[in-house]
Structures are given as C-alpha cells and as structure tokens.
Amino acid sequence: MPLRYTLRQLEYLVAVGEAGSIVAAAQQVNVSPPSISAGVSHLEEELGVQLFVRHHAQGLTPTLAGRKLLDQAQLVLRQAAALRDLAGELSGSVRGPLLIGCLSSFAQVVLPGLRRSFVDAYPEVRISQIEADQAELFSLLRQARVDLALTYDLDLPGDLKFFPMLELPPLVAIGEDHPLGHLPEVSVEELAPHPMVLLDLPLSADYFLSFFSQQDLRANIAERTRDMAVMRSLVANGFGYSIVNVRPLNDLAPDGRPLRFIPLSGNPRPMRMGMLMSTAVERSQLHRTFLGSADAWIRQHRARLSGSPGPAA
C-alpha cells in the first residue's frame, strides 16, 4: 500500500524538529498548532514509527527514528524546492519560497521596504525573513536554513560568497546636548574621553572598537546593548555617543528625543552592505532575480541609508 503524506506535512515535521515544540513550529510556518499536531500524528501513523517523545510542558524531542527521518525530510524538501526552481527556470517565471536572513542591526530599516518592492513586482514569490547577528547568519546559510543573507563584509569565511552593493562609512550618533554635537565631523581622539554606548554585536563591536585601537586609544565604554533602538534612546538621553553605519529613517530616538549623526573623520574603513550566499548552493532564477532587485533597491535608497547624497559606491 503506497504511503500517503504531503510535502506540507514534511515541512511541519522539520519545523517541530527545529523548534522543539508544536507552538513554536506553528509560529515558524504560520499555521495553527492543531494543524501541526495533526500533520505530525498523521506522519507517525502513516510511517509506522514514533517520531517524537512528548514531554509535558517541555516540548518534544526527536526519537532515534525521528532524527533519521528528519534528515531525510529535509533532503526531500530541498529536492522539491529544486524542482520548483527548475520549473521556474524552464518557464521563465519567478516564483516560489524565499527565506532571507538579515543582520539585526539594520533589518528594520532595510528589509521590509526591500521585500515590499520585490513581492509587488513578483507576486508569486513567498518571502519570509530571519534577523540574526553575523555569526548566526553564517550558520543559517551553511545549514541551508536561509537562501541568502543581507549583511556586512565582516570576517567573511571562504565557503560563503559576498555580493557587495553599497559602502557605508561610519557615523557618530550623538545627543543634541553632547559637547561634541556642534561639530561637522568628529575624530576618535575627540571621542575617546567621552562615554560610549557600544552596539555590542558579534564582529560589529570589534569593528567599532578598531577605530580606537588603530590610534592606540581605548574607548570609554559606559553602556553595552545588542538592540539598535535601545542604543539610540541611551544616546539621546545623554548616556554617551555611539557609532553606526546605517542611518535610521529619522533623527529621533524611539522615545522621541532628538539625535545627530556626524561623520567620523580620518577616512575610517567603511562597511560594505551586500548579499551573502553559500558557495555550495547553485543560484536559481529566483535567487538571481532577487539579487538584482536588492542591488537596485539598495542603491536607489543610498542617500537615506548612509546619510550622504551622491551616486552609489
């Protein structure tokens, strides 16, 4: 008797295996928890094996058989995605699912508008997104849990290919009452004695602090946060300055207090924003189209993102 299960049920299986609970898996694939539970139960009945051990109030753990079937289900889903991509290639259409990772420090400023522009042009594409730090994005790409990642050129490994799109020089975020706030640009020598609010993300923090170490100076770190919005509010309320590369949409902190963004003098190394992909993944028609669209959108919004008008770098 042939087995009867769907790719959607395999997707539920993989989501539960990754999330560790029915509720978290339901959020991940955007369906109701009962649908996830019913799909997994149907697979267990159809395959004749227990896939998960249910722990009361502690989620689900894959059984030995479940782990082996999870690996195979992921392979089947990748092959199904490749089949859809091939159909798109042959028909010349752009369609299918696309999962984008984005560096959390600028995801709120860049990714929603970029996604809106792309899905308006290609309504048959279903885009979802994940925000993460740089090290997490590397891992997500290697595990094929995202198709592409929008990020900076920070410590890029050799097994990932970077497509640069925009150079972003560093800006000093400063409160309007800060003693350096009147300057047209500011140096690290001038900043060093003042308290700093460090955006403390993996690799990004090293980049910001390198401006000081290159001048044999030490930053006076008064506050650390991994949240861009919290950083802006701390700066606007006088707890110190910070350094960023992407300028927010306006010069107000989330609590409404004003901010200034001043260029850092001395020709410091800019960040390059671009798209990152695994070299192990063959680029499909969908990937190529999204890369081109993202490049055009980012260059179009260069002045808003960098705070400096002019042609794209």
Instruction: Tell me, yes or no, whether 16 and 77 share the same domain.
Output: yes
91 pLDDT tier (thresholds 50, 70, 90): low
Is 312 a member of any domain?
no
CB 239 within 8 A of CB 197: yes
Sequence letter at residue 52: F
pLDDT given at position 248: 83
Domain co-membership, 208 together with 245: yes
**Residue 174 shares a structural domain with residue 245:** yes
Residue 100 shares a structural domain with residue 34: no
Torsion sign, CA atoms 116, 117, 118, 121: positive
Residues 177-194: what's their mean pLDDT?
95
Q: Which of 35-39, 84-88, 159-163, 188-192 has the lowest mean pLDDT?
A: 84-88
Do 163 and 278 lie in one domain? The reply is yes
Q: What is the pLDDT of residue 313?
A: 34
Rg of the chain on CA atoms, in Å: 23
Same structural domain, 181 and 259: yes
Flag whether pLDDT at 92 surpasses 90: no
**pLDDT of 207-234, one tens digit each?**
999 999 999 999 999 999 999 999 999 9
Classify residue 104 as left (phi > 0), alpha (psi -120 to 50) or beta: alpha
| pLDDT at site 308 | 57
Q: Are residues 44 and 182 in the same domain?
A: no
Q: Are residues 63 and 178 in the same domain?
A: no
72 near 7, Cβ under 8 Å? no
Domain residue limits at 203? 170-263
Q: Considering the domain boundaries, does residue 1 fall inside one?
A: no
Of 59, 85, 111, the residue that ends a domain is 85
Residue 228 counted as domain residue: yes
pLDDT tens digits for range 20-41 = 888 888 888 888 889 999 999 9
Look at residue 52 and tell me whether its pLDDT is greater than 60: yes
189 and 160, same domain (yes or no): no
* Burial environment of residue 26 by CB neighbours within 10 A (0 to 12, 13 to 18, 19 or more): buried
Could you give the number of structural domains in the chain? 3
Closest of 228, 242, 238, 236 to residue 255, by C-alpha: 236
pTM, entire model: 0.68
